[in-house]
Amino acid sequence: MNSVVRPRARDDVMRQFRWYLVEQQAPVAAFRFLDAVEDSVEQLRRMPEIGAPKMLSNAALTGLRVWPVKGFEEIGIYYTVRDEILKVVRLLHGKRDIKRILQREPVEEDID
């Protein structure tokens, strides 16, 4: 299965990476986080149904699921699967107002 990481999800990854690197002064954790995201997305590509369904009224996110980043379980990978493509929509920390953030997610801000 192919996968696509939407621009906002890429921004989420880089924001979290910079937080570990700069704010926490933990470069080992920062790079471990990047590897963990990559590994977790690869796991989802192999088994896309393992994530827990998330019900929202945002029609753009019908079928949304969430799966934790391995080793960073407080951060969830929010994704959809359509037409054999896994789309990573956002990566969000559990302490954020996830429902509000996802309800505002645009319909098509897709990749390329």
Taking only the tens place, the pLDDT of each residue in 41-100 is 999 999 999 999 998 888 888 899 999 999 999 999 999 999 899 999 999 999 999 989
Domain of 34? 2-103
Residue 10 domain-assigned (yes or no) = yes
Within a domain: residue 111? no
Give the number of C-alpha atoms closer than 13 A to the C-alpha of residue 60, restricted to the C-beta side.
13
The pLDDT, as a whole number, for residue 55 is: 87
Residue 75 lies in a domain: yes
Residue 109 resides in a domain: no
Does residue 108 fall inside a structural domain?
A: no
Number of structural domains found in the chain: 1
In a domain, 14, yes or no: yes
| Residue 84 covered by a domain | yes
Tell me if 5 sits within 8 A of 46, measured CB to CB.
Answer: no
pLDDT of residue 107: 63
CATH code, domain carrying 39: 3.30.2310.20
Secondary structure (DSSP) of 70-108: TTEEEEEEEEEEETTEEEEEEEEETTS-HHHHHHT--S-
* pLDDT tens sequence across 5-36: 999 999 999 999 999 999 999 999 999 999 99
pTM: 0.91
Q: Report whether pLDDT(110) > 50.
A: no
- Give the pLDDT band of residue 112 (cuts 50, 70, 90): very low
Q: What is the pLDDT of residue 58?
A: 83
pLDDT at 74: 97
